[in-house]
Amino acid sequence: MHQEYTVIEGDFTNAGTASSSVKKTLKQLGVAPQIVKRVVVALYEAEVNAIAHAYGGKVLVDIEADKIHMVVADKGPGIPDIAQAMQEGYSTARPEVRDMGFGAGMGLPNMQKNVDVLNVTSEVGVGTTVEMIVNFV
């Protein structure tokens, strides 16, 4: 089952559109609530990053009977040092983003914690792609 969503730079009001819709689908499938929660939290963080740090992008979701595969791909500045970005508390969030309650540097670590597979690839000046897999069993 394939779903696609577009995220727009700076459009924080629509952050969570993809994760809410995915949540509903997983509930319909009867996926265990704890797993649904992990998916939603991870996808939400990735959506927010594409909105806050990049110039928007696409969310591609593929749901199978035993796992969910999510890709959040953006056009943006990219991440120069991925290992550094993965550290808890590391953030380059601009002041106006911080004022909205983001920028604790916990997004990527949170994704890591909640998914079974996380691949972050990035090219400076081009964009970032976050790929995540969560198994249902």
Ligand X SMILES: Nc1ncnc2c1ncn2[C@@H]1O[C@H](COP(=O)(O)OP(=O)(O)OP(=O)(O)O)[C@@H](O)[C@H]1O
Closer residue to Mg ion in complex, CB, 78/107:
107
Q: How many angstroms separate the CA atoms of 6 and 98, rounded? A: 23
23 binding other proteins? (CB under 8 A) = yes
DSSP 119: E
**57 SS3 class:** strand
**1 closest CA partner among 43, 58, 60, 64:** 64
Least CB distance to ligand X at residue 62 (A): 20
Q: DSSP H helical segments within 3-127, as ranges?
A: 17-29, 33-52, 82-85, 95-99, 107-114
- Give me the 38-77 binding string for ligand X, x by CB under 6 A, dash otherwise: -------x---xx-xxx-------------------x-xx
Q: How many angstroms separate the CA atoms of 115 and 128, rounded? A: 18
Q: Which stretch binds ligand X (CB under 6 A): 3-11, 14-22, 32-40, 100-108?
A: 100-108
Q: Could you tell which of Mg ion, ligand X, other proteins, none binds residue 47, using a CB distance below 5 to 8 A set by kind?
A: none
77 binding other proteins? (CB under 8 A) = no
- Judged by the rule CB under 8 A, the positions of this chain that interact with other proteins are 1, 16, 19-20, 23-25, 27-31, 33-34, 36-37, 40-41, 44, 63-66, 101, 136
